[in-house]
């Protein structure tokens, strides 16, 4: 393992992953122009599974972990996220609110592994909660209460997936994500048929153009394969405490890309909400390192 400091080249690589993950919220919005959200999510995981599964050996973990991860991340995180972005919340705000997965992960760890919440984490949660509350209170069309609720459900699904992935440390994360994707597709297709209906599915596939399919492929290849492969590679070479704070850049790129490409407005209230949520995330992520350094 390398020393704690990221080399300039690896730092740029980590920033590239954050840029891909953050700008991905704009790509989601583009794909939703023609595809129903749940169908879009199903196609994303179908392309993530095949043909990559033909070249990547299934990781040596129990099937129940792959199935749980696939359902939680597929139907839970991305199914709810795509539904929200389709008409209930702007991509920029979605990229911010979904980062609450950090606090859901802590809560689930408390419930299932007995971990205890520390004082600074309660403060961090209050700051982030105040930011989410400000978003809910605003009614300018950027977000609806339903949209925020759906993204919070997406964050809960992401947190559940994190907890499952922690059961098998050291696994090839790219292979893990690819094979788990096989379990994401069936529930998403079933949900699409029940919620969106066959006529909407047929119309979406018929109206999909080259840009739509590029969005689907980018979701699978850029967001999943490149993102998770590089992220896992970095985590294997540096301490988690060095790499984890980089994820704070996701909403920065998400809100920035939405403003540039989708002309999403950034009024003072939205910047204030972002500042509150980001303050909570920064406190939760960096406080342990700063307090440890202070004792040295």
pLDDT in tens, 88-131: 999 998 988 898 888 888 788 777 767 676 788 788 888 888 88
Query: Where residue 74 falls among pLDDT bands split at 50, 70, 90?
Result: very high
The DSSP symbol for 89 reads B
pLDDT at 217: 94
* Residues sharing a CB contact under 8 Å with residue 279, sequence separation 6 or more, in sequence order: 124, 127, 128, 131
DSSP 144-155: -HHHHHHHHHHH
Query: Where residue 241 falls among pLDDT bands split at 50, 70, 90?
Result: low
CA–CA dist 154, 116 (Å, integer): 24
User: CB–CB of 100/128 below 8 Å?
Assistant: yes
User: CB–CB of 53/180 below 8 Å?
Assistant: no
CA–CA dist 94, 283 (Å, integer): 21
CA–CA dist 273, 143 (Å, integer): 12
Neighbours of 294 (CB within 10 A): 7
Which pTM does this prediction carry? 0.86
CA–CA dist 241, 237 (Å, integer): 12
């Amino acid at each position: 393992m390398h020393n704690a400091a990221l080399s300039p080249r690896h730092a740029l690589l980590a920033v590239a992953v954050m840029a891909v993950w953050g700008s991905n919220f704009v790509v989601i919005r583009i794909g939703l122009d023609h595809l129903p959200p749940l169908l879009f999510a199903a196609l994303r995981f179908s392309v993530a599974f095949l043909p990559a599964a033909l070249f990547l050996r299934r990781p040596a973990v129990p099937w129940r972990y792959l199935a749980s991860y696939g359902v939680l991340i597929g139907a839970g995180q991305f199914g709810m996220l795509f539904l929200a972005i389709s008409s209930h919340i702007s991509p920029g705000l979605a990229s911010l609110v979904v980062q609450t997965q950090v606090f859901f992960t802590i809560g689930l760890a408390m419930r299932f592994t007995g971990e205890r919440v520390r004082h600074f984490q309660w403060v961090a949660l209050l700051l982030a909660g105040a930011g989410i509350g400000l978003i809910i209170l605003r009614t300018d069309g950027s977000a609806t209460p339903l949209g925020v609720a759906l993204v919070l459900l997406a964050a809960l699904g992401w947190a559940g997936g994190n907890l499952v992935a922690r059961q098998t440390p050291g696994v090839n994360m790219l292979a893990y994500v690819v094979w788990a994707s096989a379990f994401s597709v069936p529930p998403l297709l079933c949900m699409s048929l029940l919620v969106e209906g066959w006529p909407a599915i047929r119309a979406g596939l018929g109206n999909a153009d080259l840009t739509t399919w590029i969005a689907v492929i980018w979701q699978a290849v850029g967001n999943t394969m490149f993102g998770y492969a590089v992220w896992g590679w970095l985590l294997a070479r540096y301490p988690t405490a060095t790499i984890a704070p980089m994820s704070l850049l996701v909403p920065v790129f998400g809100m920035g890309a939405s403003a540039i490409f989708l002309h999403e407005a950034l009024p003072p209230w939205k910047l204030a909400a972002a500042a509150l949520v980001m303050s909570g995330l920064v406190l939760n992520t960096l406080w342990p390192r700063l307090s440890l350094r202070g004792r040295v």
